[in-house]
Amino acid sequence: MGVHFHKAKQNRIYQDVVEQIQTAILDGQIVPGDKLPPERELCEMFQASRGTLREALRILEQKSLIEIRLGMNGGAYVKDANAELMAENLAILIQSQNVSLRHLAEFREVVEGAVAELAAVRATATDKRKLADLIGQAAGYREQGPQLWDKFVHMDEKIHIELACVAGNPLYRFIHHSIHKNIHRYYDTLLIVGKDEMEENFRDLSAIVDAVVTGDAERAKRCAADHVRRFSAYMEQKKRLTPDR
């Protein structure tokens, strides 16, 4: 018999719903900010029960493609894609495979080095002004006493993000964010910096930005890697001093 039947497969309904909505979102047929119809209407559209449809919405929510709000004007809103999800998945992988702080730092060293190198090559005049401005702000916080030191720490983060943007490859933004989030899950309480560390940190950042601004890719790369290495070493040291974590 030459006829060839394919499997009379009955896709999980919720899966089909997920795929249809996901495709519509990724194809741009519905864009971030848009609101999907209320559950009861979606049920009719997909000819599915509310329970099944809700399973689909839960999956889309978990994928960070939609956000479900309560109350009047509530409903499923299409979200802007962001790197939060990757960070969370990475966290699960890290936890279940015993990835150490050292592993994270080792990887970050390479990534930040590559970011600085690319940034030095690709920075436009506008980028350079922006970076210089950020360094200026950090310098300001640095001088105004301990109560602003946490703002300085925040600037450090901001400068790294800006560098990743300047590097012009979105992957670096995603990866940096994911790694950074997970490193924080270890450090966090250790992030109360002392003056000396802050000063050294500031010198590091200045050096990186200076190299980027002058277009010295090789030096930028070296400075960034050194910076991450020094920072990680500090944190490791602090961790040893407070072994109760």
Partner DNA sequence: AGTCTACAATGGTTTAACCATTACAGACTC
Partner DNA sequence: GAGTCTGTAATGGTTAAACCATTGTAGACT
Q: What residue ranges bind a second copy (CB under 8 A)?
A: 14, 25-26, 51, 54-55, 58-59, 62-65, 81-83, 85-86, 89-90, 92-93, 95-97, 99, 103-104, 106-107, 110-111, 114, 118, 169-172, 174-175
Q: Which does 26 bind (CB under 5 to 8 A by kind): a second copy, DNA, none?
A: a second copy
The smaller minimum CB distance to DNA, of residues 13 and 132, is found at: 13
Q: Shortest gap between Cβ of 82 and DNA (angstroms)?
A: 20
- Beta carbon of residue 104, minimum distance to a second copy (angstroms, whole number): 7
Task: Residue 96: name its binding partner from DNA, a second copy, none (Cβ under 5 to 8 Å by kind).
Answer: a second copy
CB of 78 to DNA, least distance (A): 13
Task: Name the residue nearer to a second copy (CB basis): 115 or 138.
Answer: 115
Q: How many Å apart are CA 239 and CA 68, to the nearest integer?
A: 39
Residue 71 touches which member of a second copy, DNA, none, C-beta under 5-8 Å by kind: DNA
Distance of closest approach, residue 60 Cβ to DNA, in angstroms: 12
Per the CB < 8 A criterion, the answer to whether 159 and 152 are in contact is no
The distance of closest approach from Cβ of residue 76 to DNA in the complex, given in angstroms and rounded to an integer, is 5
16 versus 200: smaller Cβ distance to DNA: 16
**Binder of residue 63, out of a second copy, DNA, none (CB less than 5 to 8 A by kind):** a second copy
Closest-CA residue to 52 (of 8, 9, 10):
10
DSSP character string of the chain: ----PPP-----HHHHHHHHHHHHHHTTSS-TT-BPPPHHHHHHHHT--HHHHHHHHHHHHHTTSEEEE-STT-EEEEPPP-THHHHHHHHHHHHHTT--HHHHHHHHHHHHHHHHHHHHHH--HHHHHHHHHHHHHHHHHHHT-GGGHHHHHHHHHHHHHHHHHHTT-HHHHHHHHHHHHHHHHHSGGGG---HHHHHHHHHHHHHHHHHHHTT-HHHHHHHHHHHHHHHHHHHHHHHHH-TT-
Nearer to DNA (CB atom), residue 70 or residue 125: 70
CB 56 to a second copy: min, Å: 8
Give contact residues for DNA (rule: CB under 7 A). Answer: 10, 12-14, 36, 38-40, 47-52, 54-55, 57, 68-76
